[in-house]
Structures are given as C-alpha cells and as structure tokens.
Amino acid sequence: MLGMLALISALLNPGAPISLGLLQYGQVNLAYVPGGFSAPDDYPPSPCVMNVIVFDGRGNAVKNQTISLTPGQTGVLKFTRSDLASGGSLGIFTEQGQVENTCDPSNDSCDFTLCNITQSVEIVDTLTGVTRALDTPSINAPDFDQE
Amino acid sequence: MSAIQIFVFVSSLIGLGLGQTAQVNVTFSPLNIPPTATCHAEVDFFDVNGNLIKIKTLALSPGQSAQVTLSRLELAGLLAPAHPLFWAQAGLDACTGDKNCNIKFCAQSMSASGQEADAFGSADLLLPNQLEFLSND
C-alpha cells in the first residue's frame, strides 16, 4: 500500500495549494529562456512541450493545456474562481507543470531536461492587475520522478 | 541584443499591475576582488513575445550597486493591458578591452535580484531567481 502511495506521489507532484480570493484570478506563466544554458554536446527537443494542469480543491483537473515553446516564446494559462467552483467555495487550487519527453528514443543527444523553461503561478487582482502572490514551482521531469 | 556571458539572475515571466515598476538590483561584493577592478554587468528586460525591450549595461567597482527599472509604459505603452508580462535577466558582459576587468573575479562577486515596486517605490513582490532550475552548464 505504501509503495502504491509513493508511486502515485511520484507521478503526480503538484505545487503547494493556494487559494483565489474574490476579484482575483490565477495565471500560470511559462517562458523559454533563450541562450547560453545548454550543455555542449546535448540539446533539447524543438519545440519543448509543456503540459500544465490546474487542480481544484478536490483534486479535479479543471484546466489542462499543452504548450509548445521554442527559445524566447512564452505561454500563459489563466483561470478564475469559477473554474475552481467544483472544488468548493474556498477557491483552493494546485498546479502542476511537466516537460514532456518528446525526444526520439534513438537520439542520444536529445535531452528534454535541457528545456530551459521557467514557470510562475501568479494570483492577480482583477481590477488593478497587481500580483498579490507569486509561486515559482520547479518543473517536473516525469522520467526522473518515476525512478 | 543581449551580450551576457555569465548569467547571474533570471526571473520567471510575470505581470506588472497599475502603478508598478519592475526592478533588478545588481551588487558587486568588495570581498575577494581587487578594489581597482571593474565589472561589466548587463540587465535585460523582455516582453511576453520575447522582444528585448530594455537593455542596460553597467560598469561597477567592488562594493557598488545599481538598480535598473522598467515601467509599465516602457513595457507595453500607453494602451497597456491590465497585466502586461515581462521577464528579466542579469549577468556579466565580456571584459573586452578593460584591463581592470576579470570576468572570473566578477562572477564570484556579482549578485542580482528582482522585485516589483508600487507607485511609491516600495517593493511589494520579490522575484525569485530561476537560474537554479535552468541547465546552466
């Protein structure tokens, strides 16, 4: 039983739970930072593919988006309290972002962990656009998590 | 075009609200570096489309600090949306032609951070450094 729990936790490792207040929305931002980071002999797939999921307070996946990025590109997934309504009235959510391994298995030089994508989760005031809270969870590399 | 040779700070993508500015602070510690040294730092701001919209180069001596700011107007103009997005990076430029500059010493001495400030200049949000999540070989 414990082994099963450990496996589930490895496969599904969302960030810390946060809640959205009234007149706030949440936003997951991704940016593929260009230049200067890659290892000399290996390279990331092109494009890098990210899968972003937002879960409500009951663990239901309420937003899911697959985003393909090349260096310099960005992606945004926005969600509101109404998107989280199935999880209760508190507006609690968690977020998970993973880089998908899109490398051809026969290509030893392709390494999806070299996808230099930053991730942030903002809680934004609807009226002013001011970010009230910011989380920058690490992006999971699923193949490593399952080891 | 960015000329950063060694990255020290990379923010995540984040938005600016009404009245806010983005700020990147750069400091060179006076420790472990000759007092006559000069270090060439650079701070870059990019918009949501990856366009380099502001670049600032700095020549700093040990112990000196500098702050580079980006306003909403610079980021997205007068017709800015409520929450225009940006990211920032900071690092060291090459020492080209400067005999007082040693990029290895500078790399050991430079630190940088990012923040957002309200209309009064008060910092109200720190921008964590994302460099640890990037494969910075």
Domain ranges for chain A: 2-145
Q: Is the pTM above the cut of 0.90?
A: no
Task: Write out chain B's pLDDT in tens, 137 residues.
Answer: 889 999 999 999 999 999 999 999 999 998 877 888 899 999 999 999 999 999 999 999 999 999 999 999 999 999 889 999 999 999 999 998 899 999 988 998 999 999 999 999 999 999 999 987 776 54
Domain CATH for B46: 2.60.290
Q: Find chain A residues with C-beta within 8 A of B5's C-beta.
A: 36
- For chain B, the domain total comes to 1
- Report the residue of chain A nearest B49, measured CA to CA: A73
Task: Give me the DSSP letters along chain B.
Answer: ----SEEEEE---EE--TT-EEEEEEEE-STTS-TT--EEEEEEEEETT--EEEEEEEEE-TT-EEEEEEEHHHHH-TT--SS-EEEEEEEE---TT-TT--HHHHHHHEEEEEEEE-TTS-EEEEE---GGGS---
Q: Is the ipTM of this complex over 0.95?
A: no
Instruction: Classify residue B26: in a domain, yes or no.
Output: yes
Optimal mutation site among A118, A122, A135, interface B, most CBs of chain B within 10 A: A118
Query: Are the Cβ atoms of B11 and A74 closer than 8 angstroms?
Result: no
- Residue B86 buriedness (CB in 10 A; 0-12 / 13-18 / 19+): buried
Domain that holds residue B13: 6-118
Contact between chains at A129 and B85 (C-beta distance less than 8 A): no
Please give the class, per CATH, of domain A2-145: mainly beta
User: Quick check: is B137 in a domain?
Assistant: no
Query: Does residue B130 sit within a domain?
Result: no
- Can you list the alpha helix ranges (DSSP code H) found in chain A? 2-11, 142-145
Q: Is residue B68 part of a domain?
A: yes
Q: Is residue B128 part of a domain?
A: no
Subunit contact B7:A36, Cβ cutoff 8 A: yes
Across the A:B interface, residue pairs with CB atoms under 8 Å apart total 105
**Is B135 within a domain?**
no
Q: Is residue B127 part of a domain?
A: no
> Is B10 inside a domain boundary?
yes
